[in-house]
Structure formats: C-alpha cells, structure tokens
Amino acid sequence: MHIHILGICGTFMGGLALIARELGYQVSGSDQNVYPPMSTQLEEQGIKLMEGYKAENLAVKPDLVIIGNALSRGNAEVEAVLNQGIRYVSGPQWLSEAVLQNKWVLGVAGTHGKTTTTSMLSWILEHQGFKPGFLVGGIPMNFGISARLGESDFFVIEADEYDSAFFDKRSKFVHYRPRTAILNNLEYDHADIFPDLDAIKKQFHHLIRTVPGEGLIISPACELNIDDVLAMGCWTPVSRTSINGDSQWNAELVKIDGSQFKVCFEGQEQGMVDWALTGDHNVYNAMSAIVAAKHIGIKPSAAIEALAAFKNVKRRMEVIAKINGVTLYDDFAHHPTAVRETLQALRLRYPDDRLIAIYEPRSLTSRQRVFQHDYASAFVDADIAVIADLFDPSRFAEQDRLSTDELVGAIRERGTEAIFIPTADEIVWHLGPRLHAGDTVVVMSNGGFDGIHEKLMKSIGG
C-alpha cells in the first residue's frame, strides 16, 4: 500500500510517516519550507520528499493521501487529490484507526509542555522496559526519532488541540481517546482557529468526555482554566500536582532553579529528581509524567531514576554550542508564556551571565496583535531582547499584525534593552562580533529562522 502525506515535514505528520513506514507501507510526501530536524529525520529513514505542492506529485497514484492541517482548499495538490478521487483522511483519524485501536493511550495535552512531557513519559516507559509506541512533536534526544510503533500495548502521544484538517475541524486529541490524560495547562492560543479561550475550553471538555471512568486525568492544582473545563463535566478520577504546595502529588524544590526536587505523594517522599533540566514548568512536566507512569504500574522511584537520564528534546532549551565562553541555546518558544518561562529558567541557571534573547514571531498567532501586550513582559529576565521581523508579514493586514516597533518600546519600558533587527543575517552581523565570554544567547523561533544558529556559531567562532 502506498501512502502519500501532504505536509510531511510537520512534526506530527513526519511522525506519522515513520509509523506508516514501520507498518510496512510505501511512504512518500510533499511539503514546502523544509528544514531540519524533521527533513533530516525523514531522509535518514529513506522516505521520499517532494518539494512544493504540485499535482504532478501524484503522478504515481497513491492508495491513500493523509492531508495535514496546514493544507487547505486551493492548494494545487489538495485540489488534485479531490479531482482524481483519491481516498484521503486526516492524520489524527488515520493514527486512531491504524494504530491506537486496542492500545492503552497516554495523551499529553495543554498549551505548553506537551512535547517535553510526552518525551519524558515515553522515556520513563522505555527505561522500565515497556518499549512503548510514541508520537512526539519534536525529536527526543533519548530516542533520536519523533515517533515509532513500539512493541507493547502502551502508546504515548502529544495530544494537540489544533484542528485535524480542513475537512475535520475537531481538535486532534478528540481522535485519540486516552486512558491516561495529562492536562498540563490551558491558555489562549491558535488565534487563527479559535475565537477565544472559551472555544478552546470546549475542545478540552470534548477530550475529557472521551477518557474512561477507570482512567486518570492529571493536572497541576494551580491551573484555573483546567478547573473550568473539569467543572463542565468529568467522569474520571483526577490527580493534582503542585510545587511547594499541598496537593496529593507535590514537588519540594531543593534547588530554586528546579534542577533538584523531592517528589512527594500524600506527604511521603518518593525520591529525589536530580537532572539537567530547569524551570518550574519542567518540574510540573516531570510530576505529570511520574503520575502517569504510576497509573500503568511504574513505581515513582523508578520514574525518578529514569528522569535522571532524560536528555530533553531537540529545540527545547537545547544547548547547540559553547564557543569562546558563549553558550548558544535553541528553543521553540513562541507563545508569550513559553518565552517568559524559558527566560526565567535561563536566568536562574545563569544568574551572572548576560542573557540575550533573539525572537522571531513566526507562528500564526504570534504574528497577530492578539498577544501584543503579553509579549512586552515576557522578556523581563533578558538583558537584551533582539526582535526580528515577522515571518511572512503579508499574511495579515497591517492593523492585525504584531507591531515590532511597539513591542520593542514596551520591552524597553520594562527595563530590558531591546532592538529591532529584521533578518537573521543582520542579527548575526550586528550581534556576533559583540558577543563575549559570559554571554548566554537563546534563539526562540518555531521555524528554521534562515539558518541563524549555524550563522551565529560561525560568527562567534570566527
């Protein structure tokens, strides 16, 4: 059977490609704006990539086309699929029908932390010999791949609230029907498809409706928006987590940066997490993963042991270079909360360094004015904030776009030095020669950012 995937270089669709290949299918796919690490991963797996969306990509007619949610009517290849009468399906539906049936699904949902928590949980199961299947919206460095079929009854999946396809506007996670559901947090996001926060809460309520009564829902006690969702109806036991609090599952910080903390269940210490990650957000991610693992029978002490060997995910606070005393990070942060938490964690880890944040507004939501004011306070822990131009600003009318000029001014008002430098090349030209030992630089973008990481490394090393 030949499966062709439209949007194959997206993190989710690329994972589907790996699983389909593992199931024995012939797999091909097309995409545009291809960039690592997903393009590299697919090529290494021998999956044929076609650049751009064209009707001729279907010259060898596939048996099934899986259409990603970034594709819409008017796309040349989508139109060819419809005109030729080729069978097509959304990615989440295909995954549900081809893989998740009769699996114990552990789903990780939330505005932030899905990729990291899914990776943590997958690694805990792997460390304990469960050999789980998983699909992660990134590449966990413990595995080196973003998805696999696995050899057990357990499947760990990043459960995204984004819609499934142009012909299926339900959130992806509604297809997965998890038995163990982590709800990390809930904020307004995806302004391109959700009009307001209540619309997202409704989708999370639909997810909760699919969790069995003998399942488990896990969520931080401080997440009031999750409380609102649970109040809409819940038929499943809920375990709550906290940091230095009094929830059933509580993390007692030993180090303020979150790199060491005690795990307590009903007041009894279960062990100490001592690991390479930092930040309260990662402590919450870890607590959720530990509780989810316990739900399938893994002792907290064993999960804690696994986390000590957890290597994080590519592009999630990933150190990509240390050159001449300069530490360069790559991070996927694009929502203002994620930007703020990333910079808070780095400030705690490097209290004496000059912290420089380079930010590209690239996601559909970040390019709009919806978070104009929220971004202003997201950079307070940085010493210098470099704001790049919006990716493809023509996508939105000027009055609807994020204003970089306003943002730079607002960041300065809060005490952080800020500057607008539109392109990656200009940023490297301006910043590279001025970097020195004791600088920590974090590049935040959910795209390739015109190869800025490699260009910075060359500039620093030169």
Pair 377, 411 in one domain: yes
Give the domain range for residue 16. 2-90
pLDDT value for 40? 77
State the CATH number of the domain containing residue 108: 3.40.1190.10
Torsions phi, psi for 330 (to 5 deg): -115, 135
Peptide bond connecting 37 to the previous residue in cis, omega within 30 degrees of 0: yes
- End of a domain among 307, 334, 357? 307
Whether 96 is in a domain gets the answer no
pTM (2 d.p.): 0.85
State the CATH number of the domain containing residue 429: 3.90.190.20
pLDDT value for 37? 66
Nearest CA to 312 out of 353, 279, 352, 266 is that of: 279
Query: What is the tally of structural domains in the chain?
Result: 3
Tokens of 346: 């780095």
- End of a domain among 247, 277, 307? 307
Contact by Cβ (8 Å): 113, 184: yes
Pair 201, 228 in one domain: yes
State the CATH number of the domain containing residue 41: 3.40.50.720
Whether 415 is in a domain gets the answer yes
Instruction: Compute the distance between CA of residue 172 and CA of residue 159 in angstroms, rounded to an integer.
Output: 7
Contact by Cβ (8 Å): 410, 310: no
- End of a domain among 70, 90, 110? 90
Pair 206, 117 in one domain: yes
pLDDT value for 36? 67
Pair 79, 106 in one domain: no
Note the pLDDT tens digit of each residue in 16-46. Answer: 999 999 999 999 999 987 666 667 778 888 8
pLDDT value for 34? 67
Note the pLDDT tens digit of each residue in 122-152. Answer: 999 999 999 999 999 888 989 988 899 999 9
Q: Which residues of the chain have pLDDT under 50?
A: none
Contact by Cβ (8 Å): 361, 422: no
Whether 73 is in a domain gets the answer yes
pLDDT value for 462? 61
Q: Is 263 exposed, middle or buried (0-12, 13-18, 19+ CB in 10 A)?
A: buried
Nearest CA to 362 out of 455, 444, 453 is that of: 444
